[in-house]
Amino acid sequence: MKNSIIKKIFCLAFLLTSAFTLFSCKKLANRSSNVNETKDIFNLEENVKNKKIAVAYFSIDDDVKEVADKFVEALDADIYEIVPQVAYTEDDLNFYSNNSRVKLEDEFNPFDNTIDNVDEEYETSEGIFIATTSNIEEKKKVKELPKIKSNGANNYQIVVVGFPIWYENAPKVIYTFMQGLKNKVVIPFCTGGEMGQIDQYLSNICDDSVQVMSGREFNKSTSIEEIKDWVAMLSADFDIH
């Protein structure tokens, strides 16, 4: 009788172990192909050793640069500045003017390059804007993403991308930069506002071979240890130990 009970317990344990193993295998098999393809790229220790990490940043003040420098120290990475072909002037950066360059670029949709049927009224992030003829002509000039001087991140496998928040979004030069990447893992960070869904917007415009990780906001008071901990957490998503 006792042997029979032990035998039943052993069989039950075997069945439970088998079921768990099958479940684990099925779960592993269902991981997205994007993650599996990127797993070898996102080997933090190996990439640090081989200097395959770049910190690319765009900034009009010192905030993003200061955080970028901390990423460089934390990851022993190279640094690269994203520079627009046409620099932003003080007038361009007037965030309170509906005619400023940053405002017009913000309203340009990189996923839809048509600017037809511009009416005397059009909607902005601040509500309905009544356009004059000059406003409409100025808006029509924004037909493409702003060009950048070069994309120096193509020789790296992991690229940290830093930018300020403009109108609750990344500056359009960042979209230009992201379009030029292939076969990379991108770690975005921002200053001066929440990341929100910006990391997803950037992912949408990228080549399919680019994996964009979840981003977050940092500021000048961020410590290097905090950056290391965050990147280590991201690497754990790929089971990199």
* pLDDT per residue as tens digits for the range 61-106: 888 999 999 999 999 999 999 999 999 999 999 999 988 999 989 9
What is the set of domains in the chain, with CATH numbers? 33-86+146-236 (3.40.50.360), 87-144 (no CATH)
In this predicted structure, the answer to whether residue 190 has a pLDDT above a threshold of 90 is: yes
Residue 4: its H or E element: helix 2-29
DSSP at 213: P
Q: Are 193 and 219 in contact (CB under 8 A)?
A: no
HSE, side-chain direction, 13 A CA sphere, residue 134: 3
Is 0.95 topped by the overall pTM? no
* pLDDT per residue as tens digits for the range 28-66: 333 334 444 444 555 555 554 455 899 999 998 888 999
* pLDDT per residue as tens digits for the range 153-183: 888 989 999 999 999 999 999 999 999 999 8
Q: Is 84 exposed, middle or buried (0-12, 13-18, 19+ CB in 10 A)?
A: middle
- Please give the share of the chain, as a percent, with pLDDT higher than 70: 64
